Amino acid sequence: MVGSGRAKWPMSGLVTIPVKLYAAAEDARTPLHEVHTRGSRIRHRRVCEREQREVPQEEIRRGWEAPDGRVVVLDAGDLEHLPLPSKRTAEVLGFVDDGNVDPLLYDRPYWAGPHGPAAQRPYALLVEALARHGTIAVCKVAIRTRERLAILRPRHGILVLHTLRWPEEIRDPGDLTSSAPVTDRELQLAEVLMDALAGVDIGGLRDEYAAALEQLIVAKVSGRELEAGPEPEPAVDLMAALERSIRDARRE
């Protein structure tokens, strides 16, 4: 369980729905650790700058350093009493179409389940209302020590809470646009290629890097060399590359 709270959403007045949040995603990659070239693990230790000694976890707090060097130490009790309306709540601010949320803002998904018998009916009502209305709910939620923007959407009878980044957290890309000219013929070929490759079963895709990494580890353990895969050819001639891709796509 990641956290719990009371989800509020306005419909015929203010309705409060107790919910629990559970992480909806996990890292499936092969874990790699920092090691010495001789194979021993590298450990990072928490050392107090003033006392020059390693500090146990129970003595560690969060803090803010003022411009004059003074440090304000905050413990769990201080953070628990933050005057924050969204603390332990997912406060719905309104409803929007899914397409109105920039995908660049999406951060982390959670399953949001009903918490307690009293939450069952209003929870089910919100799930059904969102599904029937075809919109998502924009809300604020406090998770750990941060207030986050989030959206609520229905999925197979369950609410998914997806945290969002604040708009000011998105960096300005600067001038990354390409000034290279594109011909009408190139655009036509690109559109033909898109039509030929229309439809992707995302559920059937796998992390090929993770699989290759596992092969490398097995080879290392067995003391043999892993054969390197072929290097991709650079697409120097864009037209030829597009035409070749179209032929390959049509043969599949």
Tens digit of each residue's pLDDT, the chain (252 residues)? 444 445 444 433 344 566 778 888 887 777 888 888 888 998 888 999 889 999 998 888 888 888 888 888 877 666 666 555 444 556 778 899 988 999 999 999 999 888 778 788 888 988 999 999 999 988 888 776 677 889 999 999 999 999 999 889 999 988 888 788 888 888 888 888 788 778 878 888 787 777 777 878 888 778 787 777 666 665 556 667 667 777 776 666
Please write the tens of the pLDDT for every residue from 190-237.
888 788 778 878 888 787 777 777 878 888 778 787 777 666 665 556
Within the chain, how many helices (H) and strands (E) appear? 5, 11
Q: Are residues 188 and 159 in the same domain?
A: no
Beta bridge partners of 21: 3, 112
Mark whether 193 and 145 lie in a shared domain. Answer: no
pLDDT of residue 30: 78
Give just the sign of the alpha carbon dihedral 26, 106, 100, 147.
positive
Evaluate whether residue 37 is within a structural domain.
Answer: no
Domain shared by 236 and 138, yes or no = no
Q: Is 68 helix (H, G, I), strand (E, B) or coil?
A: coil
Look at residue 65 and tell me if it is in a domain: no
Q: What are the residue ranges of helices labelled H in 154-252?
A: 184-196, 208-222, 238-251
Rounded CA-CA distance 16/18 in Å is 7
Who contacts 120 (Cβ-Cβ below 8 Å, separation ≥6)?
114
Statement to judge: residues 98 and 155 lie in one domain:
yes
Amino acid at 174: G
Angle, helices 184-196/238-251, rounded to nearest 10 degrees: 20
Same structural domain, 141 and 164:
yes
Contact criterion met (CB below 8 Å) for 74 and 61: yes
Calpha distance 224→216 (Å, rounded)? 9
Q: Is residue 46 part of a domain?
A: no
Report whether 110 contacts 24 (CB < 8 A).
Answer: yes
Q: Is residue 86 part of a domain?
A: yes
> Of 95, 90, 101, which is closest to residue 170 (Cα–Cα)?
101
Tokens 């895969």 correspond to: 229
CATH number of the CATH domain containing 117 = 2.40.290.10
Q: What is the pLDDT of residue 10?
A: 43
Range of the domain at 12: 3-26+81-169
Q: Is residue 69 in some structural domain?
A: no
* pLDDT value for 162: 93
- 86 and 190: one domain? no
Q: For residue 189, is it within any domain? A: yes
Q: Do 136 and 18 fall within a single domain?
A: yes
The reported pLDDT for the residue numbered 161 is 92
pLDDT for 14 equals 47
Per-residue pLDDT, 55 = 92
Are 223 and 246 in the same domain? yes
Supply the pLDDT for residue 178: 78
Give the model's pLDDT for residue 86.
Answer: 46
3-state secondary structure of 23: strand
| CB contact at 8 A, 18 and 118 | yes
Residue 75 lies in a domain: no
- Please give the pLDDT value at position 152: 92
Domain count of the fold of the chain: 2
Same-domain pairing of 164 and 241: no
Predicted pLDDT of residue 4: 46
**For the chain, how are helix, strand and coil distributed in percent, rounded to 5?**
30, 30, 40
Indicate the residue type of 222.
S
Q: Are residue 144 and residue 224 in the same domain, yes or no?
A: no
Q: Which two tokens stand for residue 78?
A: 């201080």
Residue 8 shares a structural domain with residue 127: yes
- The whole-number pLDDT of residue 57 equals 87
Q: Work out the number of other CB atoms within 10 angstroms of the CB of residue 15.
A: 14
Residues 18 and 130 in one domain: yes
Residue 17 is predicted with a pLDDT of 65
- Does residue 92 form part of some domain? yes
